[in-house]
A and B are shown apart, each in its own frame.
Chain A
C-alpha cells in the first residue's frame, strides 16, 4: 500500500471523485425515498394498533382548507363553506328575523355539515325551511330525540335533511345531511323577539359568533370516536359541562383571514319619528322611506361573522311611548305583550344612599386584547365615580380569584389611588374559574350595613352558566348584582340571567368609546330601583297566565315588560308599585285595535324560560321536560327538548357513496388574542436519528470505497 504514495493520480483521481459524488447522490436519493415512505409505513402500523384517533396525511392540503375525519384513511376533505344572510323586520316593539345559512360543499364527496351558531338569548325560534334549488321543504317541530332519529334515518338513506337543535338559549346547532359535491343547500331559520328599550333608546342586537367558552370541570371518560356531532368541539365533555363538545365549535386560526361572511338588512318601522339611528360596531347605509320608516344595510355588503351587530335608534323625546299593548288571538286564547315605561326618576329628587360596591373583573385569557382595555377603562371610571362614605373593593379572577383589599375600604384618596394603580396593572391570561369569584363577591361576613352592590365585568365566555346562576341565587341575600358584558361577542344569556337572579340590571360595552356613556348610565341606574314591589291586577274572574310570574324591580330607564295569556280581553289592567316610599299606580284598558302576529310565541318562549328556571331551582326534570315539550310542540318552538327538522322526500346520495361529517369552523371574535386562548405548539423533533442513519450510511460508503480500493490494489499488484 505504501508503495503507491506520491505516484500519479490525475485522471483516475478525477474519475474516482466523480464516482464517489455520484454514489453519494444515489445514496441520498435512496435515503430520500426511504424517508418519504417510512412515515407512511409507520402510520399504517399505528392504525392497525388502533391507538390513533385521527388519520391524517399531510402534504395534500392547500392552506386554509380543513382537515376532515373520513372513512377512507389517508384522504382529506374540505368542510362545507358558509354564507349567511340576515333579514330583520322591526315593527314597533316586535322583531321578526330570518337567517339564511347557505352551505356549499366545495369537495367531490358527499358531506354532512355541522354548524354551531348564536341567536339572541330570548329568540323564539319557530320556523325552519330547507331550500334545494327551487324546492322548499318545511321543517317540523319534534321532541328532540325523535327529531334526531328522523334526521339520522334520512341521513343514512341518502336524503337531504336539516336539524336545528338548541344547546343554550343563545347557542344552536344546525346539522345538514347529504350535501352533494359542488352543491349548495340553503337553510332558513326564523325567530321572533322584542326590542330592548332602555332610557329612550331602542336596541336591536344580532350575535354572529359563539366565542370560545372556558369549560371548567373534570373531563368525563372519552368513549369511542363518534360519528354523530357530539365530539366535534375542541374540548372534552366534563362533569361540570356535560355538553362541552357541542358548544365549542372548531375555531379558524389560520392566516387565511376571516371566514363565514354575513349580509344584513333591517326593515325598520319604528311607529314614531326617528331622530337618530346608529350602528354600534358596523358601518351601515340608511335608506329613508318616511320619518318613522327606513331600511338599513351594511356598507361593506359582507362582514365576517366575528362580532355582534347592534342597531340603536331614538324617537323624538316627546314621542316616547309610555305604554304599549300588543295582542294576538289564537284558538280560544288571547296573548298579550305589555310594555310600560315608568316615570323618569329626575322628577323626584331621591336621597342618595351610601353603598358598598364590589367590582369583579374577569382577567381570563378570553379577555385579552381589546376586552381587557375596555374593562380597565370601565373600572377606572367606576372607581372615580364613588362618593364619600361609600365602601369598595376589587376582585379579579382567572384560574384563581384574588382581591385588592382583604375587606372593603372606605373611599379615601390612599385607597382610591391604590385601586387605580391596581386596575392599571391588570392583565388577561389563564382560565375562567368564575364560581370562586362569585362566592367571594357574595360573601357577606363583613357586612357594612350599607346598600351592597356587585358590578361584574366579564365576557361570560364560560360553559357552566347554570351552576353560576344557582350560586348567585343561593348567596345573593340583600346584595344586587349588575353585569357588564365586555367585548365583541359577549354571552348574552349569561349577562341577562345573572342580572335577573342578581336582581340587578345589565349593560354591554363593545368598544372603548362606549365605556363612559354605558358606565355612567349604569351608575345612574344602580343608585336605586325606581319602582319596586310591582304587582299586576287583572280584571276579576279571568284566568290569566302571566310571565314573569313575579315582576322584578325596575331601574331608571327600564320598561316593565310582561306577556300574558287570557281567554277574553275586557276592562282594565292595573299595575301598582312603590316609588321612593310612595304608592304608584298605572292602569290601561285591555283593548287593542289590531292583531300582532308572533305575540303568542313570545308568551310561550317566556313560559319555557320560566319552566327552565324552575328546573334550575330543583323541580323534577320529568315534569319540567313534559311541560316544555307540550308547550313547544303547540307553538312550534325550538327548546332544549324540542328541535326543528326538515327532511327531503327522495334520496339523492347513492348508497354506494360514503358520507363524511365535518363541523364548520368559526372565527375568533374580533379583538381576541388567539395565543391567550389556544396554545401554539413548539417543534418537537430533532434530526438525531436522521443524522445517525446518514452518518452510518456514509461511513459504510466510505468503507466500501476503501475496500474497493484495496481490491483494485490487490488485483493490480
Chain B
C-alpha cells in the first residue's frame, strides 16, 4: 500500500525514455522522409530550375543525385555540409568541386543515417552522379581509408574528376563526436577532355 512511488517514478522514467527514443527515431525518420520531400525540388532542378529550395525556409537546395547500385542507394545531395542540411541529406562540402565536375568533390553525411551504407561498399563498386544539368558520370571506388581529420590533411587541391564520400568513424560508435573519418574515394571511369571556356568577365 506504500509502493505507489515506484509506479510514479516508473511512468516518469518510461516517459523520458519514450521521448528520448522518439527523438532518435525522429532523426532517422527525418533522414528517410526528407529524401522523398526533396524529390519535387530535384525534379524542378533537372527541368532547369536554379537553387530550388525544397521548402520555403531552407538554406540549401538539391545539387545532385547519388546512386550506388550495389547497395540499392539512391539519394539527393544538398549543397553545403552544415548540420541543418546533413539532417536531411548528404551534403556537398563548399569549396570542393561540384559533384560531377572536374576536381575532387567531397560529399559527407551522417554515418548512422544516409552514409550507414558506406561500411558495406567495396573497392570496384560503381557510383553514379547525376548533376543538375542532367549529366550522369560514373565513378569507381578505388580506396577506403580511415583518417584522423584533426591530424591528416584531406586534399582537395588535387586530381581530376573524383568524389570522396566521407562519414564519421567508427560506424558502431553510439555517441557522436571524435575526429576519425571513413573516406571512400572514387574516380571517374572515363576521364573526358575539358575544353577552354572563354569570354566571361
Q: Does chain A bind chain B?
A: yes
B93 contacts A by Cβ under 8 Å: yes
Query: Interface extent on B, as a size class?
Result: 35 or more
Selected contact of A709 from candidates B6, B13, B18, CB within 8 Å:
B6
Residues of A close to B111: CB separation below 8 A: 684-685
A375–B177 Cα distance when bound, in Å, is 41
Residues of chain A at interface, number, CB under 8 A: 111
Give chain A nearest CB distance to B100 CB in angstroms.
13
Of B37-45, B54-62, B65-73, B159-167, the stretch lying at the interface with chain A is B159-167
A688 contacts B by Cβ under 8 Å: yes
Residues of B close to A43: CB separation below 8 A: 170
Residues of B close to A590: CB separation below 8 A: none
Given known A-B contacts A214-B157, A679-B154, A690-B24, A705 and B95 have beta carbons under 8 A apart: no
Q: Which of B133-186 contact A (CB under 8 A)?
A: 142-160, 162, 166-168, 170-181, 185
A692 contacts B by Cβ under 8 Å: yes
A222–B142 Cα distance when bound, in Å, is 7
Given known A-B contacts A366-B157, A698-B13, A701-B13, A682 and B83 have beta carbons under 8 A apart: yes
A321 contacts B by Cβ under 8 Å: no
> Would you call A698 and B158 a contact (CB within 8 A)?
no
Residues of B close to A699: CB separation below 8 A: 13-14, 17-18, 21
Which of B14, B188, B191 is the most central at the interface, judged by chain A CB atoms within 10 Å of its CB?
B14
Residues of B close to A4: CB separation below 8 A: 1, 4
Q: Which of A465-511 contact B (CB under 8 A)?
A: none
> Would you call A440 and B196 a contact (CB within 8 A)?
yes
A524–B150 Cα distance when bound, in Å, is 48
Q: Which of B1-37 contact A (CB under 8 A)?
A: 1-25, 27-28
A338–B168 Cα distance when bound, in Å, is 62
Selected contact of B197 from candidates A67, A400, A430, A700, CB within 8 Å:
A400
Chain B residue, CB-CB nearest to A674: B153
> Would you call B2 and A399 a contact (CB within 8 A)?
no
> Would you call A681 and B153 a contact (CB within 8 A)?
no
Chain B residue, CB-CB nearest to A700: B17
Residues of A close to B12: CB separation below 8 A: 20, 702
A354 contacts B by Cβ under 8 Å: no
A235–B158 Cα distance when bound, in Å, is 8
Chain B residue, CB-CB nearest to A431: B103
> Would you call A701 and B17 a contact (CB within 8 A)?
yes
> Would you call A16 and B6 a contact (CB within 8 A)?
yes
Query: What string of 1s and 0s marks CB contacts (under 8 Å) between A307-328 and chain B?
Result: 0000000000000000000000
A253 contacts B by Cβ under 8 Å: yes
Query: What string of 1s and 0s marks CB contacts (under 8 Å) between A669-689 and chain B?
Result: 000001111111111111111
B128 contacts A by Cβ under 8 Å: no
> Would you call B5 and A12 a contact (CB within 8 A)?
yes
Residues of A close to B11: CB separation below 8 A: 702, 706
Residues of B close to A408: CB separation below 8 A: none
Chain B interface (Cβ within 8 Å of chain A)?
Answer: 1-25, 27-28, 81-83, 86-87, 91, 93, 95-97, 101-103, 106, 108-113, 115, 142-160, 162, 166-168, 170-181, 185, 187-188, 191, 194, 196-201
Q: What are the 3 closest A-B residue pairs judged by CB atoms, nearest first?
A: A695-B21, A702-B14, A698-B17
A sample of 9 cross-chain residue pairs with beta-carbon separation below 8 angstroms, ordered by A number, consists of A7-B2, A13-B8, A216-B160, A218-B191, A219-B187, A400-B194, A402-B198, A431-B102, A685-B175
Chain A interface (Cβ within 8 Å of chain B)?
Answer: 4, 7-9, 11-17, 19-20, 24, 34-35, 38-39, 41-43, 46, 51-56, 58, 66-67, 212, 214-219, 221-222, 234-236, 238, 244, 248, 250-251, 253-254, 364-366, 399-404, 406, 418, 421-422, 429-433, 436, 439-440, 674-710, 712-713, 716
